[in-house]
Amino acid sequence: MTNKYSCYVLADPNKCTGCKACELACFAEHNKSNNGVGYTVGTVTIPVTPKLYLTKTKAYCMPIQCRHCEDAPCLNACQKHAIYRENSQVIVDQEKCIGCKDCVLACPFGAIAILPIGEKGKLKLQKDREVVKVASKCDLCKDIEGGPACVRVCPNDALELVDANADIEAKNIKTAEGLYVSRI
């Protein structure tokens, strides 16, 4: 079943301690099969490139990641059609991406960064030996068992997978019950 609205992960700045476990887990999960990243430091042969970005203000901190907008500015900005929708989620096709940075500027949350990618444990290179850099953003750990890695590893439960569909339904029921109590 596909959701009516896309889901997204939202952090709670009142709980986040800024430990970056989410960033590391994100990187590890996405580079397990292609780049052989395992459980120890020695297995990491490429730069750590997360898909969510820990942001610190003076008073608090939290990771910022994609909201999987329903009318996604990044998707609409991409002239190469490298950003597409799959099961309501907004996904970057890193093979198609040419690194033009339009999506980075279009995103109102700062959820996209241009980062290098690895292939078979090495940095992917272009024809002229320059490093391939592509748009990197949360894909909600699609095709990964267990759902978003960031949510799973957060030691403080500061991250939550928000499902707008379920949220609306729950609130509607609550409101209806309230209406029953306050009926005239």
Partner 1 sequence: MRKFVKGNPDLCIGCRTCMIGCVVEHEGRRIFEIDPDGYDFNPRLHMVKTAKISVPVQCKHCENPACMAACPVNCIKVINDAVVIDTDSCIGCKSCVQACPFGAIDMVSKIGTQQADGSMRVVANKCDLCVGTGNGPACVRVCPTSALTLVDEEKLKEVVCDKRVATANAAKVFADAKEVE
Interface ranges with partner 1 (CB under 8 A):
10-15, 53, 55, 57, 59-62, 64, 79-80, 97-102, 104-105, 107-111, 113-114, 126-128, 130, 132-134
CB burial of 91-127 (b: ≥16 within 10 Å; e: otherwise) equals: bbebeebebeebbbebbeeebbbebbbbeeeeebeee
* Residue nearer to partner 1 on the CB measure, 38 or 177: 177
* Residue nearer to partner 1 on the CB measure, 21 or 107: 107
DSSP E strand stretches across 28-123? 53-56, 61-64, 83-86, 89-92, 113-116, 118-119, 122-123
* Residue nearer to partner 1 on the CB measure, 129 or 183: 129
Minimal distance in Å, beta carbon 137 to partner 1?
A: 12
Minimal distance in Å, beta carbon 35 to partner 1?
A: 18
Minimal distance in Å, beta carbon 58 to partner 1?
A: 10
- Here the tokens at position 156 are 């403080």
